[in-house]
């Protein structure tokens, strides 16, 4: 299928958190926008495999783009979370000094936070222990940053893109960009499936952004993926830790943290290893053992028998060590948004505003989209309802009483609601990310077969064709008694 | 709010036995809440035979075994609701549950927890490597195979030699898959000897001991696994890697009591990961009983049924205010014993009590010594003991009368 006839004004490459906010920002204007993604779902790269933190912004070196956008973006998230119905809580973060020699460094961090304009406070060991009873007794001091928050990263990406698509953006999944050529005054973007014409390309391809950028001109930077491996702990006790707790930062990053999540789990990680394969998100025992050891140093009583999942994600570090947000050298209709490693997630909405208002605006006239609606349809949250309200709601909406995932208490109604939205899930992992079915203690052991049936029914396909994730990730290989 | 005398959470073998026993002892107002669409629990998918040897003195399939109890539940007109997921259980036994079109909160005077167990997942054991499709727990594979009619793989490696893993090795093999091997991290199998014979040896499926998966490799679907030998500390030994091409890794790496409902009631748990109970199967929370695989994982369903009856009996006594509340004797797992259920015995129980225990590792020629303080109450000779076979010890009323102090059970070499 060739789409050469229809030309986009802007094609955004990569449906992670950056591509999501950039395309949503573009949807505020009368533009034909395509959001192109190699994978079978949105948010499948680094945006779905990170620490799920909205960083306060004290840490980046003053004067960097990281510092600038972090300070700008952090306050934006309350409104975004409200408009887009994303779980987000300002829990605050603690950066803890466990050893005497770290205390002076903590004071340097305070100076840095002052330069970045981020409110922080130095806490005494007693104050830290009061806030975090499970912290190591050897704690010497901590930097408290009240504006740091925790977020549901999966639904953040999904909901931003749902909203962008509600407002007219076309989502083009399973299109891996293989070539970009300039022809006359437009680009031809060739994928494994299609060719698309577009006036402007915005490269938000995460770890792959150097490959995309190099399709139109030689570049002087390169992605050096840094893998981060994590543990997920099951729900076991609210308030085991109450803040995102960081160790002292180093040149490798902000270090191995422990944080509560919006789903009442706890996340431990990430490690930090440079790797060669951009798509290698495997985990390995020696690295995870190191993560364990460092967490135990900070929070000695962490119950490692509550681990339900390990995962890893690749940070799109580049050889420039700061965000790259600029026109391509030879073409101002090609915009690189690259190297958006931590604190990239929090920065995404501010970067998107800058990209559209400062960069796109200069090469394309922006006319307001009068139909733009910043809100998505609210999700039904039964746990926020009173008893009578819940009885009545389930009576009128029977599917919400039918529990599919026992561990995370996910109803058929919630899954059908996700399926009925724009940027809908088509895979088992897509449902897991949006609804949490399969996210819990049994990791889908009980509910996966039910989710497969729901997807097969909804899309009117055979369960054999239901995918776990990308194309080729089928769960079932043949029917019994079918023969070879 | 509706009040029910006895709510049984879970309509599998344990739950049905508990409800039937309570009814037999005069409890009329009972409600079984079952999350699936039919009664029966995990046995609905266990279509192999070998069930009922103790209970019925004959060999039945899982569905045949459970149907005998479903029939009794129906004959006895015990109320049950299927598709009903309990969402919340409080200390004062207020239960919220939901099903199609219905959300209800009710007050139970007594509760029997019979919620079964779940399988340890690849995430829980932190399997190194890629997290692609084609890595599945044995029970989930069994459900796809026996209930849904689909094969999860064509070339299969099985990790863990628990009974479901062994059963699935045979099952997938019979359905045309190539089952390449079973790999067990321990130096001995976690399954019953009869299953090693009937599921592996009879089909020439190799069992590798002291070996585990050191890496899963696959982009979208599993392509291969690396099996490595492990040392005594379970660390992989470099240089022992075996690379095996396969599309599926089936995990049978442990079953764990599924008791997240007890999270909100501060219920003490034991090393079985189930609740601490006394000889009536009453947990440390007044009027909440527990039995079956949500208390400790059994190897034979007949024992689950029996334990369900004990819990049903206890619940009946509780409702009739005839239960003894003093948990005066503690059972202590001594040398070589990994756990004992129940953890407490009531001396005045005035009935025979069965103690269930597991040993830590396979041993030959052992005395099972049962001591009250320093007094030997009983000793039983066993020519061989293995962790996968639960030991049952019956304490008669006479023996119970001799007990004055905490009860220790330990192994001694003959």
pLDDT digits (tens, 9 = 90+) for B300-346: 999 999 999 999 999 999 999 999 888 889 999 999 999 999 999 99
A256 and A233 in a single domain? The answer is yes
| Among candidate residues B319, B401, B393, the one with its CA nearest the CA of residue B4 | B319
Length of chain B: 414
A56 in any annotated domain = no
> Are A28 and A162 members of one domain?
yes
Where is A35: in which H helix or E strand?
A: strand A33-36
Please name the helix (run of DSSP H) or strand (run of DSSP E) that holds residue B401, with its range, or none.
helix B397-402
Is A334 within a domain?
A: yes
End-to-end CA distance of chain A: 32
> 3-class SS at A344?
helix
Q: Please give the Cα distance from A350 to A11 (Å, whole number).
A: 19
Q: Is the same domain home to B145 and B237?
A: yes
Q: Do B339 and B373 fall within a single domain?
A: yes
Restricting to B residues 73-112, those with a Cβ less than 8 Å away from any Cβ of A are 83, 85, 87, 98-105
Compare CB distances from A441 to B118, B219, B248 and report the shortest one's residue.
Answer: B118
For B119, name the nearest residue in chain A, comparing CA atoms only. A442
The CATH number assigned to the domain holding B226 equals 3.50.50.60
- The rounded distance, in Å, linking the Cα atoms of A96 and A103 is 9
Do B411 and B366 lie in one domain? The reply is yes
Q: Is residue A68 one of the residues assigned to a domain? A: no
Considering the domain boundaries, does residue A309 fall inside one?
A: yes
Pick from B45, B88, B107, B118 the residue to mutate for testing the A interface (most A CBs within 10 Å).
B118
CA-CA-CA-CA dihedral for A105, A108, A114, A115, to nearest 10 = -130
The answer to whether the CB atoms of A480 and B129 lie below 8 A apart is: no
Question: What b/e string do you get for B246-279 counting C-beta neighbours within 10 Å, with b at 16 or more?
Answer: bbbbbbbbbbbbbbbbbeebebebbebbbbbbbb
Answer yes or no: do A129 and A258 share one domain: yes
| Same domain for B67 and B3 | yes
First to last CA, chain B: 60
More confident site: B402 or B321: B321
Cβ neighbours of residue A180 closer than 8 Å, sequence gap 6 or more? A187, A188, A189, A190, A201, A212, A215, A216, A334
CA distance A258 to B174: 47
Q: How confident is the model at residue A3 (pLDDT cuts 50, 70, 90)?
A: very low
* Nearest Cα to Cα of residue A157 among A308, A37, A298, A310: A37
CATH of the domain at A285: 3.30.9.10
pLDDT at B404 (0 to 100)? 87
Tell me which of B275, B293, B323 is where a domain ends.
B323
Instruction: Please report which confidence band the pLDDT of residue A251 belongs to, taking 50, 70 and 90 as the band edges.
Output: confident
- pLDDT at position A320 over 60: yes
Domains identified in chain B, total number: 3
Same domain, A162 and A130: no
| Whether pLDDT at A109 is above 50 | yes
Instruction: Residue B241: list chain A partners with CB under 8 A.
Output: none
Q: Identify the pLDDT of residue A1.
A: 43
Q: Which of B128, B139, B219 sits opposite A283 (nearest CB)?
A: B128
Same domain, A188 and A253: no
Domain end, chosen from A330, A363, A396, is at A363
Residues in B touching A478 (Cβ below 8 Å): 150-151, 154
Whole-number pLDDT of residue B350: 81
Instruction: Let me know whether B360 and B295 are in one domain.
Output: no
Does A282 have pLDDT greater than 60?
A: yes
Residues B8 and B87 reside in one and the same domain: yes
In a domain, A63, yes or no: no
Q: Which domain holds residue A290?
A: 93-146+225-315
Q: Is residue A421 located within the same domain as residue A309?
A: no
Distance between CA A347 and CA A340 in Å, rounded? Answer: 9
Q: Count helices and strands (H / E) in chain B.
A: 7, 28
Q: What is the pLDDT of residue A432?
A: 98
Report the number of secondary-structure helices (H) and strands (E) in chain A: 14, 23
Task: Give pLDDT, residue B324.
Answer: 87
Which CATH number do you get for residue A446? 1.10.10
Q: Two tokens at B350? A: 């005035």
Residues A400 and A355 in one domain: no
Return the SS3 of B12.
coil
Residues 270-289 of A with CB under 8 A from B: 279, 281-285, 288
**Domain membership flag for residue A255:** yes
Same domain flag for A206 and A307: no
Write out the catalytic residue numbers of A: 55
- Residue B250 phi/psi, 5-degree rounding, is -100, 130
The answer to whether position A119 is within a domain reads yes
How near does any CA of chain A get to the CA of B227, in Å? 14
Q: Distance between CA B55 and CA B137 in Å, rounded?
A: 29
- Of the candidates A445, A469, A480, the beta carbon closest to that of B121 is on A445
Q: Tell me which chain A residues have a C-beta less than 8 angstroms from the C-beta of B119.
A: 442, 445
| Residue of A306, A385, A475 for testing the chain B interface, max B β-carbons within 10 Å | A475
Q: Is A391 on the interface with B (CB under 8 A)?
A: yes
Q: What pLDDT does residue B391 have?
A: 96
What's the CATH number where B410 sits? Answer: 2.60.40
pLDDT for position B347: 84
Coil, strand or helix: which one is B353? strand
pLDDT bracket for residue B263 (50, 70, 90): confident
Distance CA A54, CA A346 (A): 5
Top pLDDT among A372 and B328 is at: A372
Both tokens of B145, joined, read 């195979």
Q: Is the dihedral of CA B312, B315, B320, B321 positive or negative?
A: positive
What value does the mean pLDDT of chain A take? 96
Tell me the shortest Cα–Cα distance from A30 to chain B, in angstroms. Answer: 38
Judgement on whether residues A41 and A163 belong to the same structural domain of the protein? yes
Boundary-marking domain end, from B253, B271, B293 = B253
pLDDT at residue A238 tops 90: no
Integer Cα distance of A44 and A157 in angstroms: 9
Both tokens of A449, joined, read: 């077969």
Query: Which element (helix H / strand E) includes B311?
Result: helix B301-319
- Assess whether A131 and A234 both reside in one domain: yes
A300 plus A324 within the same structural domain: no
Check residue A482 and give its pLDDT: 66
Residue A161 to residue A42: CA distance in whole angstroms:
8
Q: For residue B414, is the peptide bond before it cis, meaning its omega torsion is within 30 degrees of 0?
A: no
Alpha-carbon distance B294 to nearest alpha carbon in chain A (angstroms):
14
Which of B126, B206, B136 is closest to B166 using CA atoms? Answer: B206
Asked if B130 lies within 8 A of A308 by C-beta distance, the reply is no
Residue B172, min C-alpha distance to chain A (Å)? 10
* Percent share of chain A, pLDDT over 90: 95
Nearest CB to A406; choose among B35, B126, B153: B35
- pLDDT tops 80 at residue A4: no
Q: A272 and A414: one domain?
A: no
Tell me what the mean pLDDT of segment A130-142 comes to: 97
Helix (H, G, I), strand (E, B) or coil at A451: helix
- Per-residue confidence (pLDDT) for residue A2, from 0 to 100: 45
Please give the residue range of the domain that contains residue B92. Answer: 1-119+255-323
Query: With left for phi above 0 and alpha for psi between -120 and 50, is residue B363 left, alpha or beta?
Result: beta
Which pair of structure tokens corresponds to residue B230? 């492990």
Cβ atoms A230, A23 nearer than 8 A: no
pLDDT exceeds cutoff 60 at A146: yes
Rounded to the nearest integer, the mean pLDDT of chain B is 96
pLDDT above 80 (res A5)? no
Which residues make beta-bridge pairs with B148?
none
> A153 is written with which tokens?
């990263």
Number of domains in chain A: 3
Average pLDDT over residues B371-381: 93
A87 neighbors A239 (Cβ within 8 angstroms): no
Structural contact between residues B49 and B25, judged by C-beta atoms closer than 8 angstroms = no
A307 to A35, A77, A481, B385: CA distances (angstroms): 36, 30, 38, 31
For B102-157, how does the pLDDT look when each residue is reduced to its tens digit (9 = 90+)? 999 999 999 999 999 999 999 999 999 999 999 999 999 999 999 999 999 999 99
Question: At which of B195, B223, B253 does a domain end?
Answer: B253
Residues of chain B contacting A407 with CB distance shorter than 8 Å? 260
How does residue A10 score in pLDDT terms, banded at 50, 70 and 90? very high
In this prediction, residues B182-200 reach a mean pLDDT of 94
Q: Are residues B128 and B223 in the same domain?
A: yes
B169 and B223 inside one domain = yes
Average pLDDT over residues A454-481: 97
Same domain, B148 and B296: no
∠A403-A404-A405 over CA atoms, to 5°?
A: 100
């Amino acid at each position: 299928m060739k789409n050469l006839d229809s030309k986009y004004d802007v094609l955004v490459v990569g449906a992670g958190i950056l591509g999501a906010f950039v395309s949503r920002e573009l949807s505020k204007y009368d533009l034909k926008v395509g959001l192109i993604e190699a994978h079978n779902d949105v948010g499948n790269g680094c945006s779905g495999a990170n620490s799920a933190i909205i960083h306060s912004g004290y840490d980046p070196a003053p004067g960097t783009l990281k510092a600038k956008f972090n300070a700008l973006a952090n306050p934006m998230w309350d409104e975004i979370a409200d408009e887009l119905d994303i779980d987000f809580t300002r829990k605050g973060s603690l950066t803890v000094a466990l050893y005497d020699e770290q205390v002076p460094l903590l004071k340097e961090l305070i100076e840095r936070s002052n330069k970045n304009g981020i409110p922080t406070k130095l806490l005494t060991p007693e104050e830290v222990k009061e806030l975090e009873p499970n912290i190591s007794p050897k704690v010497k001091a901590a930097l408290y940053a009240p504006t740091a928050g925790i977020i549901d990263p999966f639904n953040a990406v999904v909901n931003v893109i749902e909203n962008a698509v509600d407002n007219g953006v076309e989502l083009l999944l399973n299109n891996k960009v293989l070539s970009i050529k300039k022809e006359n005054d437009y680009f031809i973007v060739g994928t494994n499936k299609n060719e698309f014409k577009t006036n402007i390309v915005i490269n938000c391809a995460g770890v792959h952004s150097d490959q995309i950028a190099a399709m139109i001109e030689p570049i002087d930077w390169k992605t050096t993926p840094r893998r981060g491996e994590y543990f997920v702990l099951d729900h076991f006790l609210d308030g085991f830790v109450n803040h995102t707790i960081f160790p002292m930062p180093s040149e490798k990053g902000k270090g191995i943290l422990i944080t509560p999540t919006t789903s009442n789990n706890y996340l431990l990680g990430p490690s930090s290893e440079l790797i060669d394969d951009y798509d290698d998100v495997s985990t390995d025992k020696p690295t995870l053992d190191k993560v364990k050891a460092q967490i135990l140093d900070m929070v000695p009583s962490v119950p490692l028998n509550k681990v339900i999942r390990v995962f890893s994600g690749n940070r799109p570090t580049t050889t420039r060590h700061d965000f790259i947000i600029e026109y391509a050298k030879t073409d101002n209709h090609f915009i690189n948004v690259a190297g958006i490693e931590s604190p990239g997630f929090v920065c995404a909405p501010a970067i998107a505003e800058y990209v559209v208002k400062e960069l796109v605006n200069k090469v394309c006239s922006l006319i307001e989209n009068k139909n733009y609606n910043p809100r998505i349809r609210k999700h039904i949250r039964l746990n926020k309802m009173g008893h009578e309200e819940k009885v009545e709601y389930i009576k009128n909406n029977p599917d919400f009483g039918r529990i599919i995932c026992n561990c995370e208490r996910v109803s058929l109604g919630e899954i059908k609601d996700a399926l009925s939205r724009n940027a809908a899930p088509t895979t088992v992992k897509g449902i897991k990310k949006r609804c949490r079915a399969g996210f819990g203690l049994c990791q889908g052991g009980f509910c996966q077969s039910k989710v497969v049936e729901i997807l097969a029914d909804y899309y009117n396909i055979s369960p054999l064709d239901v995918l776990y994730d990308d194309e080729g990730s089928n769960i079932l290989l043949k029917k019994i008694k079918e023969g070879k | 709010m509706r009040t029910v005398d006895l709510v049984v959470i879970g309509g599998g073998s344990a739950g049905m036995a508990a409800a039937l026993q309570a009814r037999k002892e005069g409890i009329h107002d009972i409600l079984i809440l079952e999350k699936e669409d039919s009664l029966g629990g995990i046995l609905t998918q266990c279509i192999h035979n070998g069930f009922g040897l103790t209970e019925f003195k004959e060999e039945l399939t899982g569905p045949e075994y459970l149907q005998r109890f479903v029939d009794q539940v129906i004959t006895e007109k015990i109320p049950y609701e299927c598709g009903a997921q309990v969402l919340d259980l409080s200390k004062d036994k207020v239960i919220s549950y939901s099903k199609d079109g219905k959300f209800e909160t009710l007050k139970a005077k007594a509760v029997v927890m019979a919620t079964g167990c779940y399988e340890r997942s690849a995430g829980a054991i932190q399997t190194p490597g890629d997290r692609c499709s084609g890595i599945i727990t044995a029970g989930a594979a069994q459900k796809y195979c026996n209930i849904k009619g689909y094969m999860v793989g064509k070339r299969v490696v099985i990790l863990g030699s628990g009974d479901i893993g062994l059963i699935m090795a045979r099952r997938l093999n019979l359905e045309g898959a190539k089952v390449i091997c079973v790999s067990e991290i321990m130096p001995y199998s976690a399954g019953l000897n009869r299953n090693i014979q009937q599921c592996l040896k009879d089909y020439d499926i190799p069992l590798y001991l002291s070996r585990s998966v050191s890496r899963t490799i696959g982009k979208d679907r599993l392509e291969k696994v690396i099996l490595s030998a492990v040392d005594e500390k379970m660390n992989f030994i470099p240089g022992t890697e075996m690379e095996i091409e396969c599309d599926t890794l089936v995990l049978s790496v442990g079953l764990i009591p599924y008791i997240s409902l007890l999270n909100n009631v501060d219920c003490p748990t034991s090393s079985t990961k189930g609740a601490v109970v006394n000889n009536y199967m009453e947990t440390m929370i007044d009027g909440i009983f527990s039995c079956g695989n949500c208390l400790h994982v059994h190897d034979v369903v007949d024992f689950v049924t029996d334990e369900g009856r004990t819990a049903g009996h206890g619940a009946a006594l509780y409702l009739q205010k005839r239960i003894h509340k003093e948990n005066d004797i503690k059972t202590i797992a001594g040398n070589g014993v990994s756990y004992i259920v129940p953890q407490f015995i009531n001396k005045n129980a005035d009935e025979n009590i069965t103690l269930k225990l597991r040993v830590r590792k396979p041993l030959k020629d052992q005395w099972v010594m049962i001591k009250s303080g320093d007094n030997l109450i009983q000793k039983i000779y066993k020519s061989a003991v293995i962790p996968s076979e639960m030991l049952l010890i019956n304490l008669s009323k006479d023996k119970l009368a001799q007990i004055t102090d905490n009860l220790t059970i330990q192994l001694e070499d003959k």
